[in-house]
Amino acid sequence: MIHTHQKVLVTGGTGFVAIHSILQLLNRGYEVRTTVRSITGKDKIYEMLKNGGITDFSKLDFIEADLTSDKNWLEAMIGCQYVLHIASPIFLRLPKNEDEMIRPAVDGTLRVLKAAREAGVKRVVITSNFGAVGYSHKDRNSLVTEESWTNPNEKGLSTYNKSKVLAEQAAWNFMKTEGGSLELSVINPMGIFGPSLSADLSSGFEMLKKLLDGSMKAIPDIRLGIVDVRDVAELHILAMENPDAKGQRFLALAGGTMSLLEIVKLIKIKMPYVAGKASTKSLPTFIIRLTALFNDQAKAILPLVGIYREASNEKAKTVLGWKPRNNEEAIMASVISLIKWKSLKV
The phi, psi pair for 123, rounded to 5°, reads -145, 140
Hey, how many other C-beta atoms are within 10 angstroms of the C-beta on 273? 8
Hey, how many other C-beta atoms are within 10 angstroms of the C-beta on 224? 22
Tell me if 51 sits within 8 A of 24, measured CB to CB: no
**Residue 42 among the catalytic residues:** no
Q: Long-range contacts for 289-292 (Cβ within 8 Å, ≥24 apart)? A: none
Rounded CA-CA distance 185/201 in Å is 27
Q: In 3D, which of 138, 140, 141, 129 has the Cα closest to residue 253?
A: 129
Q: In 3D, which of 158, 162, 38 has the Cα closest to residue 104?
A: 162
Check residue 164 and report its DSSP letter. H
Q: In 3D, which of 46, 1, 58 has the Cα closest to residue 19?
A: 46
β-pair partners for 35: 63
Catalytic residue among 7, 42, 162, 164: 164
> Among all residues, which ones are annotated catalytic?
164
